[in-house]
Amino acid sequence: MQGGWNPCFSRALNDWEVEEAELFLGYLHGKRVLGDIDDTVVWTETKSGIFSAKSLYLALEADCPTSFPSSCIWMVWVQPKINFFAWEAAWGKALTLDLVQKRGWSLANRCFMCMEKEETINHLLLHCSKIRVLWELLFSLFGVSWVLPCSVRETLLSWQISSVGKKHRKVRRAAPLHIFWTVWKARNRLAFKDDKISIQKLKYSFLCSLWSEAKLFIVECPQTLVNFIDWLGSL
């Protein structure tokens, strides 16, 4: 029926309202209002009732079916912009083409780096044929024989386990994050500035990024890039 009042709909709506009211009153049953105490906002995720960013993060992490590499991201000696991008990538929230499509944009999805596969964050940062050279370089520098996991999250969790040696742990833990950051910057130059990909430039950018950060956080870090590469090989 069009353009008129539908009594069946009115009846169903009223029944729903009654059911919701009964549920609400049942929740309130046994609760007591304290008239002499001011209303306050209580954060239920902490015993004190006080909100903290850490408690929110732990609550979100508890709902996650798998472990999240929070310490592999936030407790690493890199600049905050690199931490934040790694955090976005691990959650799958970095704005790659697959996410742009999900937001309603009609466009072709092809990896800007290799032009072979669809662009997802896991493909871009781990499995792209052009990016594999960075991981192979990293494994060679640290003397690691390793197979990359499927996702960014699993990669960070596994890398933490594979780099348990105490000596130069700062550089080891930071290295994957620098690969992520190097790749993301190169990808954006291709996407927005019509740049061309150069494997040698990609390697050089990664090494310079890692070296520049290491000089900020490690006292004994070599002061030239060549010596830094030799130093990494001695780890």
DSSP string, 151-171: SHHHHHHHHHHHT--STTHHH
Q: What is the DSSP letter of 3?
A: S
Please give the pLDDT value at position 113: 94
Residue 207 CA, chain-centre distance (Å), reads 22
Q: What span, in angstroms and rounded, lies between the C-alpha atoms of 57 and 20?
A: 32
Length of the chain: 235
Please give the pLDDT value at position 14: 63
Please give the pLDDT value at position 133: 94
Please give the pLDDT value at position 98: 94
Q: Find, among 210, 190, 209, 213, the residue nearest to 124 by Cα.
A: 190
Please give the pLDDT value at position 10: 47
Q: pTM value?
A: 0.71
Vertex 102: Cα angle to 100 and 107 (nearest 5): 55
Q: What span, in angstroms and rounded, lies between the C-alpha atoms of 216 and 233?
A: 20
Please give the pLDDT value at position 64: 57
Q: List, as one string, the DSSP characters of 32-90.
A: ---TTS------TTSTT----HHHHHHHHHHTSSS---HHHHHTSSS-HHHHHHHHHHH
Is the CB of residue 89 less than 8 Å from the CB of residue 152? yes
Q: Which two tokens stand for residue 13?
A: 């709506």
Instruction: Count CB neighbours of 132 within 10 A.
Output: 13
Q: Which residues of 79-98 are buried (b: 16+ CB within 10 A; e: fewer)?
A: eeebbebbbbbbeeebebbb
What residue ranges of the chain have pLDDT lower than 50? 1-3, 5, 8-11, 164
Q: What span, in angstroms and rounded, lies between the C-alpha atoms of 42 and 44?
A: 6
Is the CB of residue 221 less than 8 Å from the CB of residue 231? yes
- Among left, alpha and beta (phi > 0; psi -120 to 50; other), residue 30 is left
Residue 221 CA, chain-centre distance (Å), reads 28
